[in-house]
Structure 1
Amino acid sequence: MPTPPESTKASLSYRVHARARERWPALTSVDVRFHGSFAYITGQLPDGTTQPLCRLRYGGYANQWGFAIYLASKDKYEDSFLPDGNPAGTAEEALDCACGLYLNDPTAWTTD
């Protein structure tokens, strides 16, 4: 599997942070960390709790990432589908999907 170049990592981090500020005020911050071809996104809640949200898989394109949701019940990530039915999409779509679940906001799953 390809690993994202540094420019793609920086772009992804910027886009995730911007989307979190724009759409998810219940998060005080988000953390994006990279390991191989994966990017792991974790949110921080106002009480200091950290919540793993999702894992993105780089497939060679900066705007298209494979999506895996974090399953708290299993304490692991599981490949999943975004609300539009695709297993891959933008980082913003992935963040919205995961936050819709963990921040209890089903409006995140409606597509425009």
Structure 2
Amino acid sequence: MRTPSEHTRLQLELYLNMHTKTAWPQLAGLRIRHRGQFAYDRGTANRWGFALHDAGSDRYQDALLPTGSGTGTPEDALDCACRLHLATLDS
């Protein structure tokens, strides 16, 4: 798996921060870290693999989006993660 270019990383951060402001205003901010294989693309800059951190095992595990796909836009992955983690805060 390729490590994304600096341009791709900056573009990803821009898109996700813009999306967060409109779709998830309850978030104070979004910090994106790029760590080797954990910031990678699978095909194109518009389709990304998605992994969630499992605190119990302290590992990242590949995840599927609600569509059942293993890849999607960065915004799709952010929406999925926020629905999973923020839903418990709203209850």
Q: TM-score, normalised by structure 2?
A: 0.86
Q: Of Structure 1 and Structure 2, which has the larger fraction of its residues in strand?
A: 1
Partner of 2:28: 28
Structure 2, unmatched stretches of 5+, are: none
* Alignment partners' CA distance in 2, 1:61 and 1:37: 15
**Match of 1:59?**
42
SS in structure 1 at match of 2:50 = strand
Aligned residue pairs total 88
Partner Cα distance (1:60, 1:32) in 2 = 20
Superposed displacement of residue 3, structure 1: 1.2
The corresponding residue for 1:89 is 72
Larger fraction in helix: 2
% identical aligned pairs = 43
Q: Note the aligned Cα RMSD (angstroms).
A: 1.6
Select which of 86, 98, 101 maps to 2:84: 101
d(CA) in 2 for partners of 1:88, 1:17: 20
Point out 4+ residue stretches in structure 1 off by more than 4 angstroms: none
